[in-house]
Amino acid sequence: MSMTDTLIFINVLVFFIILIAALSGFLEFVINYFALNPSSFFQGYIWTPLTSMFMHVLFLHLFVNMISMFFIGNFVERLIGRKRYLWFYMISGIVASLFFVGFAYLGLFVSGGEALFGGFDMPAIGASGALFGLGGLLAVLIPRLKVLIFFIIPMPMWLAMTVLMFGLWIFSVTAGLPVGNTAHFGGLLVGVAYGFYLRKRYSRKIKMLNKMFG
């Protein structure tokens, strides 16, 4: 089993645990203690940047994230190796969570900050931050790699990540949807930074990859 498949299994398992908790009347407890809430984080819930990245409450949220992880994650894992991939995935997710917390705090002092950055007392869950890290990495390593955005529209990887990042941010703010855009941004930056590091260190291999997939 690949590391990507293992991560998918953990996310699905956690989803069913949360479902059982919800049916048993413990959903509020689970969200309060394991979801990422900026207010709670500053009160000492420092484990939530880790636990929240494996949590999904809605099946559609889980399905979209896991399908994305299956295709993008397995590809990245084959490129950089199992061990390096795991560390990169975890760091992307944790940094994404910290971005969400930091920007939510900043939003307290900015006019319209809650709408732009997310509420200071708004819980956040999901693997999206780590997935944006994977996408950011590919956007730097193989920018012309063809992908299907929303599983329908073909785009080069660099454009797909740009559209997903800022298009989703604009749409969620104007529509008033609770989307963790700052978490996505944090994960994306980790992926882009690591991508440039790998591109510099393994320049010959990256050129070969771009000939194959670009």
pLDDT score of 214 more than 70: no
Name which residue leads in pLDDT, 206 or 197.
197
Residues involved in catalysis: 128, 184
pLDDT digits 0-9 by tens, 144-195 = 998 888 778 898 999 999 999 998 898 888 887 878 899 999 999 999 999 9
DSSP 84-131: HHHHHHHHHHHHHHHHHHHHHHHGGGSTTHHHHH--TT--B-SSHHHH
Of 53, 30, 165, 170, nearest to 101 (Cα)? 53
Instruction: Supply the range of the domain harboring residue 162.
Output: 3-213
Q: How many domains does the chain have?
A: 1
CATH of the domain at 157: 1.20.1540.10
pLDDT digits 0-9 by tens, 27-48 = 999 999 999 999 999 999 999 9
